[in-house]
Amino acid sequence: AFSKEYARKYLYSLNRDYNQSDLLKIAKGQLQAEKNKQLIDTDLITIKIWSNYKYGNCDNWILEQIKKQTIEKRFYLLCKPDIKWEEDQLRENSINRMDLFELYKKELKNLRHDYYIIKGDDRIDNAISNTLSQNFFI
């Protein structure tokens, strides 16, 4: 079962610019959307990194939930920003993509989650072949 990115649903229904308090609502919705799912498009780590990047801090509830998830066996496909930026009304940062990528990588290492970096144009094939060859199942 697959869980989509809850933030998109939330932000599309919002009739104003989002603020930091919306990130907590998004985090709670995302956590609920993840229940009983095996594939998740995004998770609370994304919200933490973006909150720290944009606002300089992150809500403690989000940090506590991420800490609880460290006991889970999680595997991440981390996409390197080595392809052309695609405009999207919800995307905000076309400039510092590599900086954010490094923050994600550092966070996954600190949390001791397994991950594989996906790069290049053929991302789906790259993800499938490399995760299967390393005995990770997606």
Q: Determine the pLDDT at residue 138.
A: 43
Q: Which regions of the chain are under pLDDT 50?
A: 137-138
- The dihedral through the CA atoms of 62, 54, 29, 37 has a sign that is negative
Q: Determine the pLDDT at residue 82.
A: 92
Q: Determine the pLDDT at residue 132.
A: 60
Q: Is 7 exposed, middle or buried (0-12, 13-18, 19+ CB in 10 A)?
A: buried
d(CA 137, CA 30): 22
pTM to 2 decimal places: 0.84
Residue 47: name the closest of 72, 27, 77 by CA. Answer: 27
